[in-house]
Structures are given as structure tokens and as C-alpha cells.
Structure 1
Amino acid sequence: MRATKFNFLSRASASAAPVIRVSNNIARLGTTKEGPKPRQLLSLPPFPAQLIPSLFRGSDAPLRVTAVSWLKHYFADVPGSVIQLHFNKGLVQMECSNPRCLSGDENKMAPLRKISPNVVMEAGSKIYVPVSIVESRISKRFDTIPSGTLYPNADEIEYLQRLVMYKDSAILVLNKPPKLPVKGNLPVHNSLDALAAAALSYGRDDGPKLVHRLDRESSGIHLMGRSKESIAQLLWLFSDTRKAKTSSKTWDDACAATTQKFWALVIGSPKEKEGVIRAPLSKVLLSDGKTERIIIADPSGIEASQEAITEYRVLGPTINGCSWIELCPRTGRKHQLRVHCAEALGTPIVGDYKYGWYMHSKWKQMPRVDVEPTSGKPYKLRRPEGLDVQKGSVLSKVPLLHLHFRELMLPNVAKFLEVFSEGPVDKHSTVATKKDVLRFVAPMPSHMKISWNLMSSYLV
């Protein structure tokens, strides 16, 4: 009896022995760290002895239900890829039916073993899965986020809501900052479409949807639709088929007023102060076999191409080897403005190293003497005070892309959807008093504001 008591005390004292820990070159006494906490498991009901065969397979075929089929049937609203991922990670377990594994204590859970998705279920078999498989079905509108687990925190939600310039029942207008991707893919987790679904739904079941895209490095007005009807109207509005007239003259006039204006700072200055660029674009694959590039289509017409039209206007003189121009795209092709500026006008956009790397390598980024257009006297570029030149402006060593979606005019989609649904509207009603056309102007990002302040003395 004494020996038993002695052994028990010795084991207790050994388990409570202090451990020396070293942190920041300082040794301290402490207790042993606790082991990893057990994963919270969810137990499925025992597999029933009798099932309706048509739930899994044809009624005429013999019933043979696998573990993955049973989980997909039980969690019908969880994507199959999520269930398969739990199997791949070895997180799906089943009670061990081997009598040698069972303990004599009836209250103690039987040992668990990992199973593969092809294990055939037997009557009474009980499966355990982590609670994470249930958390994945909380809201389907977050499935667009590639990671499957990312959800914007309070700071990200507040940040995105500060970008909202306008909101009604049909559309949502934001001022997108540079470097924020619009459309996500596997390596991109913080794209605007994914985060907006969670942060900009404003109590609706579905978040806003993309109707047009901006490049990751571009900034400015970003339009999103909030309902199926408005999304369909906006997609039609920005497509090439909108040339066709409708039965509503008011709607046609509002569509004709649709205007997109981009401001860009380009290296050099176009030969003509204003004009229209009609240069079709085609997509080519570079020699590495992975990188895609947009180029002006060959006149021979051998490669597939798309029509691309851009109106432009020079806003001021050439200062520091650069000039501001206004771009109005009449078609919406990928990288249309960047390619037209670099290849058609020969004046690539500042910060566009993909299509203007050669001009950037030749362009000296330093204050230089230019001539004022009014007096003809030398004009020296003013340097800003402080460290503002390091924020991606025209004077920084590596400037950011200077392309900004500044102004947008489009029909008041919310008003016209009400008119179309209600029929003829009295001229004194609240719907009739709303504007037919909406206009939005987005302020420039900080790096373009600095460049603008440096070079805007003689802008027209």
C-alpha cells in the first residue's frame, strides 16, 4: 500500500516539475505547456439500417453508400469541394468497430479512426467531423472568396464602406483606390467583388455584382449592380449591343448621355491635341507560354481582334516631359486605354511598365526646364515640401500608374426600373421628379494629386 502511494506521489510530482524556458536570452522557470486542445467534433446520427435507394442511386441498383456520399447527403448545402477537403486532410473519422479497440467503460467514447471517402457505410456506423464543416454553410454569398475561410473584419468593412460615393436600390458607386484588385482568383483573397459581397450588402441577401472592371493599379469610379434587373440593364448599357433603340425615348436619351472620362498622365505629348483612336486590339501569348499581352491588331486580319475606340484630349502643356490627357473610351476592351496611349499615341501612361517600359527607361525623372505656353518664359517644376515625392508621384523613383476613372454619367437605372414596372407615371409623382441622368466625379488618389499639384498651373 505504501509503495502504491509512493509511486502515485512520485508521478504527480514529476508531472508538476518546473521547466526552464528561455525567452529573449533570459531563462525563467515555468510549468509545462498544455498539449493541443482537442478538435471540436460533430457526430452524425448512426447510419440507418434501411434507406430509400433513390436518395443516392437508382432504385433498381443495389444500395451501396460510401462515406463521402453519406456526408454530402447529410450536408446538402455544403459544397462538395469542402467535404472532399476534410477527407483529404484526414479530418473525417469513424468509431472503431474492432472489439479490441473498445474499452470496458460504456460511458467512454469508442476510439476513432480516420477513413477514406470510399469507405462503405454499414448499419449503425457513426461518423465524426469537425464543426468547421458546418461553419462553411453559414452564408452562401461568401463562397466567392477563394480561400473559403476569409471574411472581412470590422476595419475592412468600415474601409470599404468609406469608399462608397453613392447608393440606391439599383446601383452602388465606389471610388476604388489603386492596388485593390477588382476580380479575385486563387492567389488573390482581398478582391473587391469578394469583400463587397460581405461588406456592402447592406442587409440584402446578395451582395453587389460587378458590371465593369478596372485594372488593379487603376483608380477611380467603380460601378456595381444591386439587383438582377439593374445588373442586366448595366451590362447592356456597357455592351456593344446598346446601339439599338428601345420604345422609350427618355431612356434612349439618357443612355445616349452615358459618358466615361479618364484622366491620365503620359510621357511626352500627342502630336494632335485631340482626336479619336480607332485601333482594334488582339491578345497574344508571350514566349514563356503563360503571360498574355494586348497589342494593336495586325491590319492583315490574320489574328482575332476586337474593335476598340478611344477619344482623347490634351489638358495642358508638356511639363517635366509629361502631359495630362483626358480619355473617353467608346468600347470596353481589356487594357484598351493603356495600349492606345502607348502604341497608338506613342505616349505611355506614367507608371505603366507593362506597355511603356522602354519609354520609362529613357525618361529622366528629374525637374527640368520647360516653356510656359502663355509667356514663353522658362518654367521650372516646383518640388513639393517634405517626403511627398516618395508616394508614387511623378517625381518618385518608381511612380505608380497615373490612370484614374474621374467622371461617369449614366441613366438613373433605379428611376427607369420603377417607371418600367409601374407603367405611365404622373408628372407630379416622386418618380417623375427624379433625375434621368446621374453624374459622378471621383477625386484622384494621393500620388496623382501630388503630380497634379506639381504640373497643373497652366492646365485648361
Structure 2
Amino acid sequence: MTGVQVLAVADSDADQRLDRWFRRLFPHIPQGRIEKMCRKGEIRVDGGRVKPATRLQSGQEVRIPPLPDPMPGDALGAPRVQKSAISDADAAMMRRAVIYQDDHLIAINKPAGLPTQGGSGQGARHVDALAACLAREGEDKPRLVHRLDKDTSGVLLLARSRQAAQALTDAFRHRETRKIYWAAVAGAPLPRMGKIKFGLVKAAGHGKGGEGEKMRCLHPSEIATTDGAKRAETDYATLSALGGRVSWVAMVPITGRTHQLRAHIAELGHPIVGDGKYGGSSQENLGDGWGAQLGGEISRKLHLHARYLKFRHPFSKRDLTLTAALPDHMARTWDLFDWRAEDVPVDPFYDELG
């Protein structure tokens, strides 16, 4: 067990998330433990309490509480999850998921149901851990630069180096990327194209300890007077509608709030197919529910997919456009409704809809 340590943030680590900085220095400490130490105030920056996502600044002093010593074989500075700890099946799954790679970055089509990062109740099987199998000989484990929710599939970027991670993280933070999601939603949104500007605030769930918390939408005029509320903005466009029963919708998150797309489109009365959190019991196709199951033909999984990502490559400075194929459960739904990618614009917000 180590004693209390106080470490200064180096210039090269400026603007890095606290949890990522911590895991690089102490790779044997799991993400869940870092989050717990932050909640309890055991990790402090310049004497103040912090969150795992706090951005560090050069020269700040980070208080590190006593930590367990690494187990034999755990080398400080090495990736926390070694390639040998990843099953052959998971390694093959990650390699199949790669849709682009070069000397600086990797893009995968994240499978639905696979968490992006570890955390409370997520276990050790997540992209951040499994990415070690994508590292080249002598390289560090690829770094996450953004995230997708566990049940959302699609384009996810990882960086091969600290420099690439910083450049890509900055691009996401400064909204220098273009992200388009595809979803199947209940009913037919009207107007067919629009902008959603509801604010979002976290609402506790009904379970013991607040389990099942979700985001609640607010009128824009209520944001300033509601504690914890944040501005949120989503563009949407209806690409195809099936008799007012179910629609194929494209969405662009102008801001990047938790569950933003799911909460926003549900607030319009058109929840995403398979979204039990924001769609409620009407997902079951019972009584007067909107019946997105269409008699049981449609998967109960969430129909939300990060289809398209466009950004400027941090080193070549060329625009890079990536698209990810639909996951199997969504592909079956698209086939059932005869929805085809070639029949719609790549970016319906810039191109004319037919």
C-alpha cells in the first residue's frame, strides 16, 4: 500500500481528463475505484473536490490517496488490460469491428450492447479494455476520444497516441466534427425536418438508491432557473415513414448531453424503437400503445446507430468521412420496411430530400 502522494500536472498532460491521467499513472486501479475515490473526496485537485471528467491544467497539484500495490506482472505505465487477458473471441470481434485505421487513429463499428468504458456495474468487458488487442507491437493501448452509450452502435474513434487523442478530443469539444445518427422511431414526426431545443436535467429513478435515473426535458425558458439543467440542441430529419406507424429518422446532436437524442425525440412523442427507458410500456404493442413492435416482428433492442462521422484528420489535415453498417437487429428492421441507404442523402440536412 502506498502513502498519500501529491503530484503536479505536467505541461504535456494539460487539458486531459482526470480519470484518464490517473489510469495512465496507475494502470492497476480500475475505473470504478477512481470514480468512488472522487465521490468520497479522496482524490483532490488543488485542495478541491473533483469529478472523473474534470480537465486538468498544467501546474495543478493532484492529491492521491493510499493505493494498493500492483499485483506481480502489473508494470506501471503499461496498459491496464494486457492482450493476453482478452479472449480469442473478443479479440476477433474487435478486429472485425475495425472500419478504418492508420498510423494515428482507429475507427470501429461498436457493437450494440458493448459498453464504451468501465464503470459501476459494467464489468471488465468494454471497448476501453478490449482496445488493447488493436495495439501494434510496442504501442500503448489505443485511447478513447469520445463515447457511445452501451446500447448504441456505430462509429467510435480511438487514438494511437497521446498527441492524436488530444487533437481529436479538441475537435469533438469544439464541435469540429459532424455526427449523424440513424434511428427507427414511433409514428411520423411533424414537421418532417426540424430542430429540438429542450433543455435537459437529470431526474432520479424510482429504484432504491435512485436506480433508473433518466434525463427530463425542459422548456428553454426553464433552463436558467432549474438547478443542474443544461442547454441541448438536436437537428432531426424524417427519411421515410411507414403509414404514420414507424419512421426512419436521422439526427444530429449539436450539443452532446447524456441520452440527448433519446430524450429529445421521445419528448416529441416519437420514442426510439426498443427504448424502454424513454418509450415506456408502449414498446410492448399492447392496448393503445403505438405498437413499434408491429406484432413482434421487430427486435426489442434499441434502434439507434451512429451512422456517419466526418472530421479533419489531425495530421494529414484532410477531411475524413466514416460510415458504419447497421447492426443485425436494425438491418432486419430496415429490410422488413424496404428502407435502403442508397435511397436517402448521406447528409439530409445539407442535401435535398427526394
TM-score by length of structure 2 reads: 0.69
Q: Which residue of 2 aligns with 1:141?
A: 78
Is residue 285 from structure 1 mapped to residue 204 from structure 2 by the alignment? yes
1:271 aligned onto 2:208: no
CA 1:367–1:78 in structure 2 vs 1: closer, same or farther (change >3 Å)? closer
Instruction: Name 2:315's counterpart in structure 1.
Output: 414
Residue 105 (structure 2) pairs with residue 203 (structure 1): no
Amino acid in structure 2 at the alignment position of 1:440: L
Q: Deviation of residue 220 (structure 1)? A: 0.7
Greater relative contact order (Cα 8 A, min sep 6): structure 1 or 2?
Answer: 2
Residue 457 and residue 221 in structure 1: after superposition, are their counterparts in 2 closer, same or farther (change >3 A)?
Answer: closer
Letter of the 2:210 partner, please give it.
Answer: K
| Unmatched runs of 5 consecutive residues or more in structure 1 | 1-55, 57-76, 82-131, 244-254, 369-393, 417-435
Residue 219 of structure 1: which of 147, 153, 174 is its match?
153
AA partner of residue 454 (structure 1): L
Q: Evaluate the alpha carbon distance shift between residue 457 and residue 149 of structure 1 in structure 2; reply closer, same or farther with a 3 A threshold.
A: closer
Seen in structure 2, the aligned counterparts of structure 1 residues 211 and 366 have a Cα distance that, compared at 3 Å, is closer
Counterpart residue number, 1:316: 240
Q: Secondary structure at the match of 1:189?
A: coil
Q: Partners in 2 of 1:457 and 1:231 — Cα distance?
A: 36
**Match for 1:405 among 296, 306, 320?**
306
Matched AA of 1:449: A
1:155 and 2:92 matched: no
Match of 1:346 among 251, 266, 269: 269
Aligned AA (2:334): W
- 1:175 aligned counterpart, secondary structure: strand
How far apart, in 2, do the equivalents of 1:260 and 1:139 lie?
A: 36
Residue of structure 1 equivalent to 2:113: 179
Distance 2:75 2:191 in 1: 58
Counterpart in 2 of 1:437? 319
Residue correspondence of structure 1 range 21-420 to structure 2 within 5 A: 133-135=71-73, 137-138=74-75, 140-143=77-80, 145=81, 151-185=85-119, 187=121, 188-196=123-131, 198-239=132-173, 242=174, 255=176, 258-287=177-206, 288-291=208-211, 292-297=213-218, 299-300=221-222, 301-319=225-243, 321-343=245-267, 345-361=268-284, 362-364=289-291, 395-396=297-298, 399-416=300-317
1:91-134 CA deviation, whole Å, 9 max, x = no partner?
A: xxxxxxxxxxxxxxxxxxxxxxxxxxxxxxxxxxxxxxxxx942
Please give the secondary structure, in 2, of the residue aligned with 1:356: helix
Aligned residues with identical type, % of pairs = 32
Structure 2 Cα separation of the partners of residues 260 and 237 of structure 1? 12
Paired residue type of 1:363? W
**Contact 1:151–1:195 at 8 Å: present in 2 too?**
no
> For the structure 1 residues 150 and 182, does the alpha-carbon distance in structure 2 shift closer, same or farther, using more than 3 Å as the test?
farther
Change (3 A) 1:151 1:457: closer
CA contact (8 A) 2:293 2:300 kept: no
In 2, Cα distance between equivalents of 1:204 and 1:346:
51
Runs of 4+ with >6 A deviation: none
Any idea what the Cα deviations from partners look like across 1:432-457, whole Å, max 9, x if unmatched? xxxx1001111101111111011135
Distance 1:449 1:203 in 2: 36
Q: For the pair shown, which has the larger CA radius of gyration, 1 or 2?
A: 1
Q: Please list the CA deviations of residues 268-313 of structure 1 after superposition, one character each: whole Å capped at 9, or x if unmatched.
A: 1112100111112111223433322111136432222222111110
- Write the deviation string for residues 371-397 of structure 1: whole angstroms up to 9, x where unpaired: xxxxxxxxxxxxxxxxxxxxxxx714x
Conserved 8 A contact 1:157-1:199: yes
